[in-house]
Structure 1
Amino acid sequence: MMILKPQDILVLLKLVAISRNNWSYHSLAIDLGMSAAEVHAAIKRAVFANLAIPQGDKSIPYIRNLQEFIVHGLRFVFIPEHGGIIRGIPTSHAAPPLSSVFLSDGDPPPVWPDSQGLVRGMSFSPLYASAPKAALADPILYELLVLVDAIRGGRARERSFATKELTQRLEAYAQNTKP
């Protein structure tokens, strides 16, 4: 039996972020701060869970199932841990694309803990340990992770908006990757 892990979703989101660009297990590993074996295992689990479809020697995200899992299951499986005030990288409603829609209510913003981060806020555990560094190197991946975090741990309005935005982005990816 294969059990889905949070890094599997990170790998699939990275594949969405790079769209039709060519990739290798090695290049994904470097971009995501993982080993090539971890990336390979993540894709294997995603295929087993029907969240990815094999295509030749590689796989692509199965967008309909990925979207359904993220929207309806992710927050119950990969629950974010909230902590105290810490320096970090904004996420959820405190980062683009949501920060332009949701005004600050005066509470500290949710942040991924990072000593190099420029914002002080409430600790919000990332989907996977290497996600913040990978997100800083890829603005498209960063926005996808922000949307996923809003779905994982946001309020109802934030989850609703993030769901619509993520769905649009995943559908655009599906349209761009059709043969």
Structure 2
Amino acid sequence: MRPQDIVILLKIIAMRERSWYNKDLARDLNISGSEVSESLHRSMIAGLINKKKEQVFKKDLIDFLVHGLKYVFPVRPGRLVRGMPTAYSAPVLNKEFVVDDPYVWAGGDKIQKGVAINPLYSTVPMACKNDALLYDLLSLTDALRIGGGGEQLIKILSNKIYDTID
């Protein structure tokens, strides 16, 4: 697995039940088409998407995010910068959790001052500007990468992922 694999799977979930092509994912995430294709193949081998590469196995993805993500793609907090809020500082979580030092993806709209963390993939902030659900999912994912939050965070993430089909 590579970090962009998680971003692509979460984008598919964020698209809800809409049909899509690899070129749609590539355009929306600013990732090359070949990279999308390779990513979907890796996710199929990992058992996170079906063989037709159309349906994400949400329970399996949540299990991976909850139990493996912080070990495979850990967060290394950086310096104080201005950027786009993520993790516990993002709108999806900032009313549930209080943090002393907000976490941000550096650059972008430079909305908030906080501790810089690298997104899973460099194009994430740009992709999230146009997709509020993807922003929520990736912010929740960053919170899992950082750690803490326990069962409350897992419940919020699970509900957000499963609510996309209702």
Deviation at 1:65, TM superposition (A): 1.0
Q: 2:131 aligns with which of 135, 138, 142?
A: 138
CA–CA distance in 1 between the matches of 2:108 and 2:51? Answer: 38
**Is 1:171 aligned to residue 166 of structure 2?**
no
Deviation at 1:14, TM superposition (A): 0.2
Instruction: Provide structure 2 residue ranges, at least 5 long, that are not aligned to the other structure.
Output: none
CA–CA distance in 2 between the matches of 1:150 and 1:160? Answer: 12
**Kept in 1: contact 2:137–2:161 (CA 8 A):** no
CA–CA distance in 2 between the matches of 1:28 and 1:81? Answer: 27
AA aligned opposite 1:24: Y
Question: What do the CA deviations read for 1:21-48 (whole angstroms, capped 9, x no partner)?
Answer: 1111111101001011111111110001
Higher strand content, 1 or 2? 1
2:28 equivalent in structure 1 = 31
Deviation at 1:170, TM superposition (A): 2.5
Q: Where do residues 101-116 of structure 1 align in structure 2 (5 Å cutoff)?
A: 101-104=96-99, 107-116=100-109
2:41 equivalent in structure 1 = 44
Deviation at 1:81, TM superposition (A): 1.9
Q: Secondary structure at the match of 1:61?
A: coil
**Is 1:59 aligned to residue 54 of structure 2?**
yes
Q: 1:121 aligns with which of 98, 114, 122?
A: 114
Cα 1:115–1:137 shift into 2, 3 Å: closer
CA–CA distance in 2 between the matches of 1:52 and 1:140? Answer: 19
Number of residue-to-residue matches in the alignment: 166
Structure label with greater radius of gyration:
1
AA aligned opposite 2:62: Q
CA–CA distance in 2 between the matches of 1:116 and 1:139? Answer: 15
Deviation at 1:162, TM superposition (A): 2.1
1:74 equivalent in structure 2 = 69
Q: Secondary structure at the match of 2:70?
A: helix
Give the TM-score normalised by structure 1.
Answer: 0.87
Question: What do the CA deviations read for 1:121-179 (whole angstroms, capped 9, x no partner)?
Answer: 1111111111111111100000001111111104x2x2432211111222334x55xxx
1:99 equivalent in structure 2 = 94
RMSD (Å) for aligned C-alpha atoms: 1.5
1:162 equivalent in structure 2 = 153
Give the TM-score normalised by structure 2.
Answer: 0.93
AA aligned opposite 1:167: S
Q: List structure 1 segments (4+ residues) > 3 angstroms apart after TM superposition.
A: none
